[in-house]
Amino acid sequence: MRKLLLLLSVLAAAAPLAVNAQEPQSVRAASPTLDIGGAFSLSTHNGQRLTDADLKGKPYALFFGFTHCPEVCPTTLFELTGALATLGADADKLAAFFVTVDPERDTQEHLASYLGAFDDRIIGLRGTDEETAAIARSFKATYRKIPLDGGDYTMDHTAVIYLMDREGRFFDKIDYREDHKSQLEKLRRLLASG
Ligand code: NI
């Protein structure tokens, strides 16, 4: 009996570890599907609280990144800025979000100043570590910290732009460095949807 109790307590202690160890794998294995998206709650770079419920009725584009990103994020933001400019006033019907996966360095002030270089319709979002993990999980996005020499670090992260319809459902995605024409076409289809 004592042995059984010991075994049970060992199993109970090991269970949360097993769940944690499995989680990243299942997230990594998943490819974008209709199951993408869901409830979230984050803070904007203007300090307002934003949840998925606030976006009901408005299609949106969302992607994950971090302001210290050397290439992927600035390129994506630059291209999105160009696409929004081409769409003109139509783009006002769309919301666009840059969710930081590096809330440690990307403070609200830092996000605001970084995004000042891009279309002002792109809103920065940040959360606690838990909130960041939660939205990444619901979008099946991954990110991880990569230590650099000298104690610095960079972030590896999913680079697609998620296009969500006005009901908050996954509509389509734009891949990193996708052809400009194709990006515009997808954004136009999203605006015209349901
Ligand atoms: Ni990046």
Per-residue pLDDT tens over the stretch 160-182: 999 999 999 999 999 999 999 99
Confidence (pLDDT) at 36: 95
* pLDDT band per the 50, 70, 90 thresholds, residue 32: very low
| Under 8 Å between Cβ of 146 and 153 | yes
CA 16 to centroid of ligand 1, rounded, Å: 31
CA distance 34 to 180: 24
CA distance 170 to 168: 7
CA 68 to centroid of ligand 1, rounded, Å: 8
CA 65 to centroid of ligand 1, rounded, Å: 4
DSSP string, 141-166: --EEEEE-GGG-EEEEE--PEEEE-T
CA 73 to centroid of ligand 1, rounded, Å: 4
CA 5 to centroid of ligand 1, rounded, Å: 48
The tens digit of pLDDT for each residue in 84-129 reads 999 999 999 999 999 999 999 999 999 999 999 999 999 999 999 9
Confidence (pLDDT) at 7: 45
pTM of the predicted protein model: 0.82
CA 67 to centroid of ligand 1, rounded, Å: 7
CA 160 to centroid of ligand 1, rounded, Å: 10
Structure tokens at 177: 């460095």
Confidence (pLDDT) at 22: 35
CB-based burial, 27-58: b 16+ in 10 Å, e otherwise: beeeeeeeebbeebbbbbbeeeebebeebeee
| Under 8 Å between Cβ of 144 and 118 | no
CA 92 to centroid of ligand 1, rounded, Å: 25
Confidence (pLDDT) at 34: 66
